[in-house]
Structures are given as C-alpha cells and as structure tokens.
Amino acid sequence: MDLNELNNINLQDLANAPAGIRSGILAGVFVLTLALGYWLLLSGQLGTLNAARQQEQTLKDTFLEKKRQAINLDAYRQQLVEINHSFGALLRQLPNRSQMDALLSDINQAGLGRGLRFDLFKPGTETMKDFYAVLPISIRVSGSYHDFGAFASDVAQLSRIATLRDISIAPDKDGQLVMNATIETYRYLDEDELSEQKRLADKNSRKGAK
C-alpha cells in the first residue's frame, strides 16, 4: 500500500478498498479504541488510586501523631497534675469574700508597723474577671523613704497577693514625704459569682453571634 492508494481511498466505499488498506484502517481503529478505552477507564481509576494514596498518607500521619501522644501520655498527665497543683497553690493565695477584711487589716498593720501615718486608705470598686475580682485601694501615707521601701516589701511578702502601683513620692508643705499609691488586691469568686459571670459571658456571646 503506497501513498497514491491512500489518497484514492473512498471512505464511502471501504468495502471495495484493497485488503491492505482495509487491514490498516481496522488496525488504526483498534488502536484508537484501545487508547480511548484506556483514557476512559484507567484515567478515572488512576485518579481514585492517587486519592487513596493521599488518604493512606494522611492516615499514616494521624497514626504516628496518635502514637506519639500515646507514648507521651504519662508525661502529659504528670504535667497536668503539676499545673493543677501550681494553679491550686496560686488560688490559695487569693482570699475569698469573707477574708478580704482580714487582708485589708494586714495591709494597714504593715504600714503602721513601719511607722507610717495613713492619711488615706480607700478601697475602690471591684473589677470582675473570669474567676477572680480585683480590688484597688487608694492610699496616702507619710513617712521616710526607708519606711516606704520597708512597707512595700512587707506588702509583697503578705500571704495573700497584693501589688503596689502608680507610686508617687513628694514632700508636703511641711517638708514631710508623702507617698500616694494604689494597692491592688485579688480574691476568687464564690460559686454564685462564678455562675453570674458565666451567665453574663453566655449572654454576651449570644449577642455577638447575632
């Protein structure tokens, strides 16, 4: 079969074409059918295979992560115990509502014990946090630099948490040193207060979702 024979093929009369040409055309159709079948059948399966391989790798990664967590589970549990212990120790440093008067008295006695004169000792308004409340106390005391420093050290060493901030020291009209400061004390909330905080948080959350 040569090029002239191919050029003279009448596609509408293939039955009368030379045997070589018919065989070539049939072979071409067969090859084309195989290629089309491969593309239609195997290409979809290859996509499924690739997806399965990716899923297999994801499962392997998940298994290895779970295995690592299982190996370290005892260490995580120990860390949780230590965290809870540390949190409990810190929480015990916060007085409850009934103990606040004793804390305020301790602060006052710390100043008097250092020879300071209180010109102002005024608790402010509490600010509620997640599980505790902050109470600011405005103070104005008269004394010496040494006494102010000793008083600040005594406040820091109280069994309950109290911090001094916004400190200013200046002489008054008589030349005596006066320290103005704010002492922040903290207490943990009781069950009723915690429930109220949770209720307010849920209410605000619903408002934010609208």
Is 67 contained in some domain? yes
- What per-residue confidence (pLDDT) applies to 19? 59
Can you tell me the distance from the alpha carbon of 170 to that of 22, in angstroms, rounded to the nearest whole number?
Answer: 115
- What per-residue confidence (pLDDT) applies to 53? 80
- What per-residue confidence (pLDDT) applies to 6? 47
- What per-residue confidence (pLDDT) applies to 57? 84
Can you tell me the distance from the alpha carbon of 174 to that of 181, in angstroms, rounded to the nearest whole number?
Answer: 20
Task: Verify that 60 and 107 share a domain, yes or no.
Answer: no
Q: Give me the average pLDDT of each 10-residue run along the chain (210 residues).
A: 48 55 62 66 67 82 80 74 61 72 90 93 88 90 92 89 90 89 87 76 68
Can you tell me the distance from the alpha carbon of 109 to that of 145, in angstroms, rounded to the nearest whole number?
Answer: 18
In 38-99, which residue ranges form alpha helices assigned H by DSSP?
Answer: 43-71, 73-91
Is 87 contained in some domain? no
3-state secondary structure at position 138: strand
Task: Verify that 4 and 67 share a domain, yes or no.
Answer: yes
- What per-residue confidence (pLDDT) applies to 132? 83
pTM of whole model > 0.85? no
Is 189 contained in some domain? yes
Domain harbouring 174, CATH code: 3.30.70.60
Amino acid at 31: V
**Domain count of the fold of the chain:** 2
- What per-residue confidence (pLDDT) applies to 2? 46
